[in-house]
Amino acid sequence: MTIRHFLTLNDFSLDELVALVEHAIRLKRDLKQGKTRQTLAGKTLAMIFEKSSTRTRVSFETAMNQLGGMAIFLSPHDTQLGRGEPMEDTARVLSKMVDAVMVRTFEHDKLVRFAGHADIPVINGLSDSYHPCQLLADIQTYMEYRGSLTGCTVAWLGDGNNMCHSYINAAHLLGFRINVACPDQYRPDPGAVDLDRDNVLITSDPEAAVSGADLVVTDVWASMGQEAEEADRRAIFAPYQASQRLMSLADKDALFMHCLPAHRGDEVAAGVIDGPQSVVWEEAGNRLHAQKALLEFLLINGEW
C-alpha cells in the first residue's frame, strides 16, 4: 500500500476530499444508530503534541478507540524529543512500532522532515502554517447544514494564520471564493498559499469581506506561540471582531464557524458565537467523525 501523508489539504485530490467528507457524514450517522466498527483493530496511532490541545487530542484518541485501535499521547516533556532527540530519528523509530503518527508542532518544515523519514502515514495535527484536520470538520459541517461549499463565498476575519492558510487551500480545491479581511501586516503568507488566484480577495475592510458571505469564520488573534503579542494584537485586530453588525452584512442564511478555543469579546462577540448562526459545537464535534474517515483513508486505503 502506498504511504500517504496528510500535511496539508493539497495532499488530497478534490474527489478524495469529497469522498472522505461524505464518509465522515456516514460514520457519524452510523455511530448515532449504535453501529460499531473495528476497521482499525490492532492499529496504533502515536500523537506528538508540542503544543496544547483539547479537541485534536480527544478526537484522535476517541477516533482510534471507536475504530478498534489505540492512540498514544506523546509530549516533549516526557519523551526524548524534549531532550533533543531529532525529529528524523523519532520518525524512524516510531515507524517500526506504530501504524501512523499525528504531529502538532511549530515550524511546518519539522513536519515535512518528520514525514520524509517516516514510512507510515503522518498527519498534521496543526503547525504554525496549516491546520488541515480542522478544515475536514469545517467542510463536513457546512455540508451538513447547507450542502457543498463549491461556488460559495467564505469571509475570513482576523489573522492570516494557519487556519486562514488551510481555508485558502480549501477554497482552491473545492472552488469557493474567500475574502480575507486582516490588518495589512497580518496578511496570509504568500509562501504558504497561492494568493494570486481570482477566488482570493485580501482586504483590510471587514465590511467588504463579509458582504453577502455564506460562511463567516474567525480564529484567535494570537495563536499558540504568540502569547507575548497578545496585548498588541488585541488593539490592532479590534475592527475585525466577528460582531453582530458584521454578521448582519453577510447573507441572511450565513453560518458562523470558529475552530476554538474562542475568546468572547475579542475575535468574536458573545452574541455571535452563542447566537443562532453559530455552528461551532457541531463543528468541534465533527473533528471526531472527519478524523475517523481520515484514519480509515490513510490506514486501510479508504476501503470503507
223 binds ligand NVA (CB under 6 A): yes
The residue from 66, 90, 105, 161 that contacts ligand NVA (CB under 6 A) is 161
Q: Known catalytic residues?
A: 104, 131, 134, 219, 259, 287
Q: Which three cell numbers stand for residue 38?
A: 473495528
Query: Which of the listed partners (ligand CP, ligand NVA, none) does 278 bind, with a CB threshold of 5 to 8 Å by partner kind?
Result: none
Q: Is 177 in the site for ligand CP (CB under 6 A)?
A: no
Q: Which of residues 96-155 bind ligand NVA (CB under 6 A)?
A: 126, 131
CA distance 142 to 137: 9
Residue 172 buriedness (CB in 10 A; 0-12 / 13-18 / 19+): middle
Span from 26-34, 53-61, 75-83, 244-252 in contact with ligand CP (CB under 6 A): 53-61
Distances (CA, A) of 58 to 32, 189, 208, 228: 18, 30, 37, 27
Strand order in the sheet with 70-74: 70-74, 44-49, 100-104, 122-124
CA distance 26 to 225: 36
Contact 180, 208 (CB under 8 A): no
Query: Which of ligand NVA, ligand CP, none binds 54 (CB below 5-8 Å, type-dependent)?
Result: ligand CP
Q: Which of 8, 53, 241, 286 binds ligand CP (CB under 6 A)?
A: 53
Phi, psi of 104 (to 5 degrees): -115, 120
Q: Which range touches ligand CP (CB under 6 A), out of 52-60, 68-76, 87-95, 188-196?
A: 52-60
Q: Tell me the three cell numbers of residue 243.
A: 460582531
- 260 touches ligand CP by CB under 6 A: yes
Q: Site mask, ligand CP, residues 213-252, x = CB under 6 A?
A: ----------------------------------------
